[in-house]
Structure 1
Amino acid sequence: MTQTDVQPPFRADHAPHPDYNAMPDAEFRAVVRHFIETHYPDIPRHLLRRLRWQEVCPWYAVLARTGWLAPTWPQALGGMGLNAGKHLILIEEYERFGCARMHDIGTVMLGPLLIQFGTQAQQDHYLTRILSGEDIWAQGYSEPGAGSDLAALRTEALRDGDHWVLNGQKTWITLGADANMIFVLARTDKSVRKQAGISFLLVPMEAPGVTVREIENLEGHAEFCEVFFDNVRIPIGNIVGEVNGGWAMAKALLGHERVFIGAPRLSASALARLEEIARREGVWSDPVFRDRFTQLEMDLADLSDLFETYVERLRTGAPIGADVGLLKICQSELYQRISEEMLQVAGSLGGAQLTDATARLDTAGTWLAARPTTIFGGSTEVMRNVVARASLDLPK
C-alpha cells in the first residue's frame, strides 16, 4: 500500500458489526487478533515514538474503511459500540502486535464529547469527517503557565458579532503539526471565577492568524508543537456546549484520559522486555536482580487491579472521581522504575543505535519515553495535591 493509495477521504464499506459486547472475551480477543494479523499494513511495529500522519496513514485508512476506527462510538454513528471491557481487550491486542498508534484525538477525545454535548449539526459534520480522515484533530489545552493547573489558562475568545476572536498560545500539542483542526479551551468571561469563564471552541488550523511551531522531544522527533492565535476569527457555531460551560467538558475528557493514561500496558510491555534483556545478558538467574524484578512484577499486579477498578466504573457509568489521579501516578512512576532497571542490566543493548533484531527492546528509547510520563496528563506533584484534597479531605 503506497501513500498515493491512502489519501483521504476514506469511506467505510463494510457489513454491520456484530454485537461484540455479547461475545465471550476469549472469542472477541481471537476476532481482534485475526483482524490485526490480516489487515495491518506494511508499516513499523513496536515503536516507542509516535508516527507522523504520512507514516501512519495506511493504518488509519484500514481502520476507517473496515469500521474499526472508533471503537467506543455507537454503531449507529459509525463506531464499533464496544464497552470498556472489550475496548481494553482491543487495546491490549494492538499493544501485543505492536501496532502503531494512529492520530486518535478525534476518535478518542473529541468524538465522544460531541456525541454527549454537541449539536446535531456538529455531530453530522465533524463525526463524519473524523471517520473519513478528512479532519485530523489536535488538543489545545496546555499553555505556558497553565499545564497541570489548566484553569489558569489565558487564551481568550471575545465575541464580535457572528464570530469569536481568539488570541493566545497553546503548547505541548501532540502531533499538532499534522492536524487540520484543533479544539481549544479559551477564556470567554474574566468576571467570574476562573473555572466558570471557559468555553470549548473548534478551530481550523488553516484559519488566518494561526501559527504552528514544532517542538522536538528528547529523541529528536518533532512530536509536539506550539500554536499561536492572533485575532483568529471563528464562527459562533464552533462552540461546543454552553458559553462558559467548557470546564465541565474539559474535566470529563481529562477523567477518561487519565484512566487510559493509567492503563498498565506500557509497564507490562516494558517488564516483558526487561525479562528478555535480562536473559540475553545472563542476569536472569541472579537472585538480587530477581528480587528487584519480583517487586516490579508485584507492583504491576497492583496497578492492574487498580486499573480494573476504574474500568468497572466506566462499564457501569459510575463517576470517575478525582482519585483517578492515583492510577496515573502509579503507572507513570512504575514505568520509570522499569525503564531504569532496563538500563541497569542492558549492557550492549543500552545504546540508542540498535540493529533490526534488537530494535524492539530499545532500552534507551524506553528510558527517554518514560521521562515525561510524570508530567503530561497532570504532573505527579499536582496530581498528589488533587488526590489529597479531593479524596483525603486535606486542606489546600
Structure 2
Amino acid sequence: MSALFSTAQLRGLTLRNRAVVAPMCQYSAEDGFANDWHLVHLGRFAMGGFGLIIVEATGVTAEGRISYRDMGLWKDEQIAPLARIVDFLHSQGAAAGIQLAHAGRKASTPIPWRGGFTETEAEKRALGFASWTPVAPTAEIHAENRNFTPPHALDLAGIRNIVDSFVAAARRAEQAGFDTVEIHAAHGYLLNQFLSPLANKRTDEYGGSRENRMRLVLKVTEAVRAVWPSDKPLLARLSVSDNRPDGCQVEDSVVLARELKARGVDAIDCSSGGFDGGSIAPVAAYQVPFAHAVREGADIPTIAVGLLGDVAGAEAIVAAGQADFVALARGALDDPNWAVHARHGLGATDYDLWPEQAQRVRERDRALGLRSFQPT
C-alpha cells in the first residue's frame, strides 16, 4: 500500500491521502473578496485528487495583505464567497484549509508580475488599487530599493489588535466551513518578523530573548485555538530556518514547535527563508530536512514543502517518516491532476480517486493500453 495515499487523521478530520496543495497567492482578489478565479483555481485541485487544499495567505486585516489584490477575511461579507469554494472542495472529497496571515512590513507591495506600481489611473479604479503604511515589530524597512515601504512599529495596543484580528478571522473561517486553519508564521511576514532577530529589534517583552520573540505567535495560537472547534485541527507554517547565520536556526524552530504543540497545534508546515540576504539552494526536496528535524525534535506531524513533484520521491518522504504530508504549489499548478496521476504511478489499478465525470479516462486507458491496462 502507498504511504502517500494512505488516509491521515488530524483530530476529527480524516484526509483521504497525504497530498496537500500549499497556499499560493493569486493576486486576483478585489477588496479581499474571493471570486470565480479562486473557485476554479482551487477546485481543479480537489478534482485532481489532493487530500487537503489550503487557500492562499488571507489577510486578517486589510493592511495585513501582501498586496492590494490579496484575499482577506477581515469582514463578514468575505465569508460567503469562501464558503462557496469550501462547499465545492468538499463535494469532490477534499478537505479545505485556509492560511491566516499578516504580512507586516512586507505588506503593500506591487503585484509581482507588474514589477512595480505601474497601474494607470484607470487601472487603479478597475482593480481596487490601495496602498498603505505597513506595521512591524520595529520601524525598519524589509529591503531598500525593492518596492517595500518603511513601516510603523507596533505598540502594545497594536499587538493586541493583531491577536484579536487573527481570532476574528478564525471565527469567520469556521463560519465558511473550513476544516482547518493555518497560522502563517513564515516567509518573513509579521509573525515571523517577531520571531526572528533579523527583524525584531524590540526591547520590551516582545523582543530580545527567544522566549520574548516567540511571545506573539504563541499568543495568537492560544487565542485562535480557544475559538477554533476542538475537533478541527490547527496548523502553523514556520520558516524553520532563516537561512542566515544571524537569524533563526532549526533548533529555534524545534523549541517553537514544541510550544505550539503544547498550545494545540496539530501539524507544522515546514518552509524556510523570507528575509533579505537569506541563502539556500532551491533544488528538489531541499526543505525536507527541515520537516524531518521538526518532526523528530518536537514529536509533531509535519508537512514537507519545496519542489516535491517527483512521485517516487514524495512516496519515499512519507514512507521513511521524514514528513507526514507532502505539499505542492508550483507542481500542482503545472499538473492539477498530480494526485490522481501519482496514485497510478505508485501502482493503483482502480480509478476511484478520479471524479465520476472523468471516468472516461479509464475508457481511454483501456483503449490505448495505458496504466493498469498495459499489456503484461
> TM-score normalized by structure 1?
0.24
Q: Which has the higher contact order (CA 8 A, sep 6+)?
A: 2
Higher helix share: 1
Bigger Rg, structure 1 or 2: 1
